[in-house]
Structure 1
């Protein structure tokens, strides 16, 4: 256990993608690549069958550098944390709670002075030198990084949690983090880059993602922090009349008397005859797709909201 981590203190994620678990006892043999000190999310997902992809042992995922509040440290190498950059007001006032391996965390070191960068490549890797060996593969879209100096020969040095020396990535893979609100069209364009990504319950990465994770990640890439879960995303956004939706708005779905269970991003103005289209991470088809709302979706459509 890293003795610098303390309950009640903050830490940051030191792996490319950390998975947040419901409890340590819930993990399965197939989850080993997601539990390692150097995670391999691609291998983890490719090793699962379609039922394992929707196991409710996974709650969410955290990206490299994401801040957490440590609430408990166990002797068996597990930490209970609250992901403070993933609002979840139904679950905890500070963020999304869950468990992850302690070795996937590093102590928080304060706020960096440099203006942050954000990964714009779908997937990239951090290396030990320009063009050198991969140290942190699998760094995904939306990850925030702190520059460690100017670019050199097309390579950008960055600070990475748990690494004393700067690491390097291609300069074009990261861009200055946005400082102004994005347009709906910009957010939709980010989400469209994740078409055909595998559906993973709790996923928030370009390797695998769920419906609310897709919405959270698309806005997060452009500097807007939305809650993690669909029902909380509905509370945090503004309703607009059905029929007044435009591309980039959000469709919400719920069964009678039940909480919202699904969300999609509007991709076209509505047409006569309730012909509506959306981009969403589809549980039934196990991937991100853009489609006309099927009849069963239209029957459970409960609202349109705008960020």
Structure 2
């Protein structure tokens, strides 16, 4: 069954990277383009400048749905990532390019209460304790159960695999159905401390500022837009000084759109002393810190999900 424009498909690799165009990819990007991606190897092979190259738009996780809009003879597909809202770019989601072999047509799976990966990184195996069929599956990935756990292993359906695959039962939990608490949000985000900053990243291997926010809430069953300015539009402003842990700080330069976001980690202290957890472009990693003066100068608001 082939991909068809106008139809939905799903991601069949652990982490697929969404590109600005097929022509924008670089030689260093080869591990991210394969039918069995190696995102850790891809990131390890880049220098600090390549890690923030603007050829990357976003990333999609195993099982994530896309709308296929074009399939090229050279093996590339243009898609809209329908689970990553980006209203300014497309009414259905985030548009970009993927290798077509990283997708399979959406055949649909029998309704079942979905699971979400709670391990930072895991693998789907051909049998309990068996060979890795899909390595590098990351936190926040949605999975469809294929039956009850067996001896500490959980069978799940995986796109592109006819038979169920297996992961440790403790690595996947039911998707929450109630709004998360601030403590839950921070607990997820804190597990990503020191993860490398990657422009467009949305995984436990590498992530950017809005990707961190998107992924933390995604793990907890809340769908937020992909980019910081859209995240601001989708959340409720609160007066500066009343923010609390789990809220969001937004940053913009005068006359410019929002360019950065962080998660509030403490109530503001004397003299507007503020702290946040964020994926920091300057230091190229996820960190928790007191807002330095140059960051405070561009703080434009606090919002609540």
For the superposition of Structure 1 and Structure 2, which TM-score range results when normalised by the shorter chain? over 0.9
Matched residue SS, 1:168: strand
Quote the residue 2:228 is aligned against. Answer: 230
Quote the residue 1:293 is aligned against. Answer: 291
Larger mean Cα displacement after TM superposition, 102-111 or 46-55: 102-111
Structure 2 CA distance for aligned equivalents of residues 219 and 161 of structure 1: 23
Quote the residue 1:138 is aligned against. Answer: 136
How far off is 1:282 after superposition? Answer: 0.1
Quote the residue 2:105 is aligned against. Answer: 107
Structure 2 CA distance for aligned equivalents of residues 117 and 298 of structure 1: 39
How far off is 1:183 after superposition? Answer: 1.2
How far off is 1:111 after superposition? Answer: 4.6
Matched residue SS, 1:152: coil
**TM-score between both structures, scaled by the size of structure 2:** 0.99
Alpha-carbon deviations, 1:68-121, whole Å to 9, x = none?
000000000000000000000010000000000000001101253111110000
Q: Are positions 1:76 and 2:70 aligned together?
A: no
Matched residue SS, 2:211: helix
Quote the residue 1:212 is aligned against. Answer: 210
Alpha-carbon deviations, 1:272-306, whole Å to 9, x = none?
11110000000000000000001110000000000
Quote the residue 2:84 is aligned against. Answer: 86
Alpha-carbon deviations, 1:199-238, whole Å to 9, x = none?
0000000000000000000000000000000000000000
Structure 2 CA distance for aligned equivalents of residues 217 and 179 of structure 1: 16
How far off is 1:23 after superposition? Answer: 0.2
How far off is 1:180 after superposition? Answer: 1.2
How far off is 1:181 after superposition? Answer: 1.2
Quote the residue 2:33 is aligned against. Answer: 35
Matched residue SS, 1:264: strand
**TM-score between both structures, scaled by the size of structure 1:** 0.99
Structure 1 segments of 4 or more deviating over 2 A?
none
Matched residue SS, 1:169: strand
Matched residue SS, 1:32: helix
How far off is 1:22 after superposition? Answer: 0.2
Aligned pairs for 1:277-288 (under 5 A) are 277-288=275-286
How far off is 1:247 after superposition? Answer: 0.2
Q: Are positions 1:7 and 2:5 aligned together?
A: yes
Structure 2 CA distance for aligned equivalents of residues 253 and 118 of structure 1: 31
Quote the residue 1:123 is aligned against. Answer: 121
Structure 2, unmatched stretches of 5+, are none
What is the Cα-based RMSD across aligned positions, in Å?
Answer: 0.6
Matched residue SS, 1:297: helix
Quote the residue 1:203 is aligned against. Answer: 201
Structure 2 CA distance for aligned equivalents of residues 199 and 115 of structure 1: 33
> 35, 41, 44: which is aligned to 2:42?
44
Structure 1 CA distance for aligned equivalents of residues 130 and 199 of structure 2: 34
Structure 2 CA distance for aligned equivalents of residues 23 and 50 of structure 1: 21
Matched residue SS, 1:165: coil
Matched residue SS, 2:51: helix
Alpha-carbon deviations, 1:20-55, whole Å to 9, x = none?
000000000000000000000000000000000000
Structure 2 CA distance for aligned equivalents of residues 158 and 111 of structure 1: 11
Aligned pairs for 1:179-198 (under 5 A) are 179-198=177-196
Structure 1 CA distance for aligned equivalents of residues 96 and 294 of structure 2: 32
Quote the residue 1:251 is aligned against. Answer: 249
Quote the residue 2:240 is aligned against. Answer: 242
Aligned pairs for 1:167-182 (under 5 A) are 167-182=165-180
